[in-house]
Structure 1
Amino acid sequence: METIPVYNDVEIKPPHKPVVLVHGLMTGDVTMLELAKQIEEMHPGTKTYVLNRFCGWASLEPLWKQVLELGPDLLQICSQHPEGINLIGYSQGGIIARGMLESYPNHNVHTFISLSSPQGGQYGIINFIIAKCFSSIFPNLTLKTAYELFYSKMGQDISVGNYWYDPYHLDLYLKYSKYLPIINNELETSNSSNYKKGITRLKRMILIGGPDDGVISPWQSSQFAVLNENQEIVTVKERSIYKNDSFGLKTLDEAGKLMFFTVIGISHHEWYKDKSVIDNFIIKWLD
């Protein structure tokens, strides 16, 4: 019988496969260190990697630039661990992580955890820093007029613009957005087949979000839902990207590899440090 060591009444569990963490908008590797520490303490011997590029202001760089620089880092870590790794992306980092999985389909990521990430896009709170930066050019920047900025060449040079999803201007979204409709396979590209390959090779995709987030809007975007023109939520299974299995969500779901978790009472900046979230919805599902 295997003996599991106990220290100060805390069960010490075997190590997990290595864990790679990707930070969010206007944050950096420091914000992910707490989560990495928790994982290492609960599962001694687990190796963690906190990606340290595009921190702070640099997180506003276009998402393709971030994906193409972070992707090789991810593949290098994968090559060091042929047994496979886990990947956690928080907030904007989750949609960057998905871009890496799709763009580098030869990865060996087993579990991908999307932690309060706008996988369906953002249509709500406009980052106050962005509003301040562009106030002289767009003095009346509001939710209803944000498309004028984000669906432009200038707006697509801002990371948020790359996943802005305005239900009232979907024609402009498809015409100007350079990231979200591409990784959703809503637009045909030379890499379209790779995107699905990169997702379907996952052993598990976990989508975590909740109604008290306060930043991701709508919060159901963390589970690939979007708003329609009537301000109604369109769930992932009602969307064409699921029905057409555009990049593999339906394949994962039908194989029992797509999991949704809705957690109440957690604000956006608590996801990566709340102990109950870490214990029950992150560490619990790592390989």
Structure 2
Amino acid sequence: MASYTTFSILLLLIGLTSCYKPVILFHGILSGSENMVLLEETIKLFHPGTKVYNCGKFPYWNSLESSWRQVRELKKYLEEINALHHEGVHFIGYSQGGLLGRAAIQSYPQHNIKNFISLSSPQAGQYGDSFLRLIFPNLVAKEAFELFYSRIGQHTSIGGYWNDPFNQELYFKFSKFLPYINNEIFSLNSTNFKNGISKLNKMILIGGPNDGVITPWESSHFGFYNKSLSVVPLYERDIYINDEIGLKTLDKAGKLILIAKSHVNHLCWHTNPWIIREVILPHLD
């Protein structure tokens, strides 16, 4: 009887430690995999047996390399991990890492990413002084287009998603990243970009009004400024109305989840265990 009980417990433990899909983590700008360790440990603590891949590519100053260069390398990384886990994996990208991760998924429509979690990421772009001061202390938002909408500026990751509402003509002329992955500009990859998103089981977009870095914070939900600096929410923007990258498709199928949480600073989304338990863990089934 004792041996039968022990065997039953072992079977239960095996079941508990094998029911969670692997998780890929990708860090934000001017940081590295070390900054994602608390998130990794929290996932393993509450979801025992979870295999976590904490991607260390493009750490710290290397995170300023061009968006497309990072996306290409991240795509290769996803291909390698996907080949090991035919059951599928989840992806969590923090800040810039969520935007680049989304682009890598779009560039790899054969992926087996199940749930994509964008953790306070500038999915509709970035425009604001608070963010710039972290990297370019003497640069202000209203003048940043002179740097970012240039050949040199487009060799920086930020230049790839800087979205100046007052200089949209230059944005579409010079930006080689964001308007393409958002299918604002049609390209040979536009169909793949949409298929990569539509294939997801769930897309979870997380952000909040007290973030303090992502500007506007609604960019984490694909909302963005108009020329009056009023925020146009996702559901009123062409990217959703015309289903340009598959967001409407996901939404109509109940697969698009928007989470807005107040009183969370940008640096706390991935470092506060209570926040992680509340907004991330429920989506790592």
Q: What TM bracket, shorter-length normalisation?
A: over 0.9
Are 2:188 and 1:190 equivalent residues in the alignment?
yes
**Structure 1: tracts of 5 or more residues without a match:** 6-11, 136-140
CA contact (8 A) 2:17 2:49 kept: no
Select the structure that is richer in helix: 2
> How many correspondences in the alignment?
274
Give the Cα separation in 2 of the matches to 1:270 and 1:4.
37
Give the Cα separation in 2 of the matches to 1:119 and 1:162.
12
Give the Cα separation in 1 of the matches to 2:131 and 2:88.
37
**Residue deviations 1:150-199 (CA, integer Å, cap 9, x gap):** 11111111111111111111111111111100000111111111011100
Q: Which residue of 2 aligns with 1:230?
A: 228
Give the Cα separation in 1 of the matches to 2:252 and 2:191.
19
Give runs of aligned pairs for residues 123-134 of structure 1, distance below 5 A.
123-124=127-128, 125-128=130-133, 130-132=135-137
Secondary structure of 2:136's aligned partner: helix
Give runs of aligned pairs for residues 95-244 of structure 1, distance below 5 A.
95-124=99-128, 125-128=130-133, 130-132=135-137, 141-244=139-242
Supply the RMSD in Å over aligned alpha carbons: 1.8
Are 2:68 and 1:64 equivalent residues in the alignment?
yes
Shift, 1:276, TM fit: 2.2
Runs of 4+ in structure 1 over 6 Å off: 2-5
CA contact (8 A) 2:33 2:55 kept: yes
Q: Which residue of 2 aligns with 1:30?
A: 34
Shift, 1:127, TM fit: 3.0
Partner letter of residue 128 of structure 1? R
Give the Cα separation in 2 of the matches to 1:264 and 1:13.
33
Give the Cα separation in 1 of the matches to 2:241 and 2:151.
31
Q: Which residue of 2 aligns with 1:39?
A: 43
Give the Cα separation in 2 of the matches to 1:202 and 1:145.
38
Give the Cα separation in 1 of the matches to 2:19 and 2:46.
9
Return closer, same or farther for 1:47/1:153 CA change in 2, 3 Å cut-off. Answer: same
TM-score, normalising length from structure 1?
0.92
Give the Cα separation in 2 of the matches to 1:131 and 1:202.
36
Shift, 1:129, TM fit: 5.5
CA contact (8 A) 1:40 1:46 kept: yes
Shift, 1:3, TM fit: 8.1
Give the Cα separation in 2 of the matches to 1:285 and 1:142.
37
**Residue deviations 1:107-154 (CA, integer Å, cap 9, x gap):** 10000000000001000134336425xx6xxxxx31111111111111
Partner letter of residue 171 of structure 1? E
Secondary structure of 2:206's aligned partner: strand
Are 2:83 and 1:85 equivalent residues in the alignment?
no
CA contact (8 A) 2:39 2:273 kept: no
Give the Cα separation in 1 of the matches to 2:276 and 2:9.
25
Shift, 1:43, TM fit: 1.0
| Percent identity over paired residues | 48
**Structure 2: tracts of 5 or more residues without a match:** 1-7
Q: Which residue of 1 aligns with 2:268?
A: 270
Q: Which residue of 2 aligns with 1:21?
A: 25
**Residue deviations 1:30-50 (CA, integer Å, cap 9, x gap):** 011110110011111100001
CA contact (8 A) 1:167 1:229 kept: yes
**Residue deviations 1:187-236 (CA, integer Å, cap 9, x gap):** 11111110111000100000000011100000111000000111111011
